[in-house]
Amino acid sequence: MVLPDSFSGENAQHATSMSILKDASLAFVSRSLSVGDDASCLCDEEYTVRNFLAFKLLPMLQDLVMSTHEVFTVIELRNDVRKVGAQRLGRRFLNCLRSETKNIFEMFPNSKFNPYFDTFYRCIHSHDLLLRESYIKQACGGSVPNVVDRLNACIAEIRSEVNSADFRLRLKAYRRPIKQNYDALVRYTSELFARHSRMVIVRVDLSYLERYRSVRGVSGADVCHHRAALLKELQSGRLGPLLGYAWKLEMGRYKGYHIHAVFYFDSSVVCRDVILGKRIGQYWDRVVTDGMGSHYNCNARKERYPKCFLGVVHHTDPVAREGFELYAQYVTKPDELLRLALPDVRAFGRGGLPPLPVTARRGRPRLAEKGETHWPEAYVTTSA
């Protein structure tokens, strides 16, 4: 992102931060849609919430923190009549004081919002502005100066807080796990390819039937227990020789708890990835969750991925490498908007790794003419 010459210091930092949020907003559009059995996309309640955060509240906040002028004024009309004057930015600010804003923050009680959104919500609460859009627009007479002062004081508080050192620390702390999860997922896959030149990669999204999706139906402890039971079965080798795995736990009002999981199998033993994904999903549905589960076998829809990393993947495949990096962004970057934050419940995890062999391996070595590896970070990481 190229910044104007007039941007410097705090404005430049906010422009960069907002650019990251915009990128995350675009990423969530494709991944926040529910996929039906017929592969059609359904705009659910969770999608609507994220859509509001990304494309209504975020742009308004971006313009607000970049500006310095007073957004609201007292307009004097005839016969000593007064009303609240609002520029375009002010009208956008008022549009965010509706009931939908309150509902959004109450809809995700087990989530942590990006500090920009959190600051906005706390400030409009502290100045008693939530749900006041119609009241403010209809204000007249002697109450107008007080209303204008309150609005401008709230905006001044938002600007002051996001420009503080404490806010920068909060934003950095909020984003640290997002980057760590992305780096860990790509590095882990790189390290697996350092040990295995070819693997079968299976991706399955695990969730619950609609009638069990509320917190009353399935708790955080339940989903952790179910995840552990599934991994135990896979590690037993009964479904195939498992080389590694990674998972990401999420929670939405509509989708409930759901897990994005990717599994790595030994391609010298198994190769029918679609059937393997189906068996994993069915075991989750029928055995692990005792009939409460639901799943989506992504390997059965490989044609939907222009840069596919699923199925049998060789370490020299550049398209698979690029596709996997997009997937890693897919499951981590939307956390820029809001992310799960439950006490004593991990939201991301991966399998372990056996040590790299000290002596030369048996069998044919990797040949340069077969192609250059596209997972180079593995060698840097494991040789350190």
The packing angle between helices 165-195 and 144-162, to 10°, is 40
For residues 17-29, average pLDDT: 64
Report field, pTM of the whole predicted structure over 0.75: yes
Average pLDDT, the chain: 81
Given a contact cutoff of 8 angstroms between Cβ atoms, the answer to whether 226 and 345 are in contact is no
**310 falls in which pLDDT band (50, 70, 90)?**
very high
CA angle (332, 336, 337) in 5-degree steps: 120
Quick check: 361 pLDDT over 90? no
Contact 319, 308 (CB under 8 A): yes
pLDDT-derived band of residue 342, with 50, 70 and 90 as boundaries?
A: confident
Q: What is residue 14's predicted lDDT score, i.e. its pLDDT? A: 67
Stretch 57-71: mean pLDDT: 89
CA–CA dist 93, 265 (Å, integer): 51
Give the list of residues 6+ apart from residue 308 with CB closer than 8 angstroms, or none: 302, 319, 320, 323
Comparing 79-83, 212-216, 325-329, 341-345, which segment has the lowest mean pLDDT? 212-216
User: Which pLDDT does position 26 carry in this prediction?
Assistant: 64
The pLDDT value recorded for residue 4 is 38
The reported pLDDT for the residue numbered 166 is 94
DSSP-derived secondary structure for 238-299: TTS-EEEEEEEEEEETTTEEEEEEEEEEETTT---HHHHHHHHHHHIIIIISTT-EEEEEGG
Between 139 and 170, the more confident residue is 170
Other C-beta atoms within 10 Å of 6: how many? 7
Is it the case that residue 51 has pLDDT exceeding 90? no
Dihedral class, residue 201 (left if φ above 0, else alpha if ψ from -120 to 50, else beta): beta
Query: Which among 81-90, 106-115, 185-194 has the top mean pLDDT?
Result: 185-194
> How far is 15 from 301, CA to CA, in rounded Å?
38
pLDDT at res. 275: 94
- pLDDT classification of 13: cutoffs 50, 70, 90: low
Reply yes or no on whether the pLDDT at 323 is more than 70: yes
For the chain, the structural domain boundaries read 9-163, 178-383
User: Using one digit for the tens of pLDDT, what is the confidence trace for 75-99?
Assistant: 887 777 888 888 899 999 998 887 7
Q: What percentage of the chain has pLDDT greater than the value 70?
A: 79
Higher pLDDT pick, 80 / 306: 306
| pLDDT-based confidence at residue 24 (cuts at 50, 70, 90) | low
In angstroms, the CA 353 to CA 243 distance is: 8
pLDDT band at 49 (very low <50, low <70, confident <90, very high): confident
- pLDDT at position 383 is 32
Q: Please determine, for residue 6, whether its predicted confidence score (pLDDT) is greater than 80.
A: no
CA 43 to chain centre: 17
Mean pLDDT of 2-12: 48
Instruction: Report residue 218's pLDDT band, with 50, 70 and 90 as the boundaries.
Output: confident
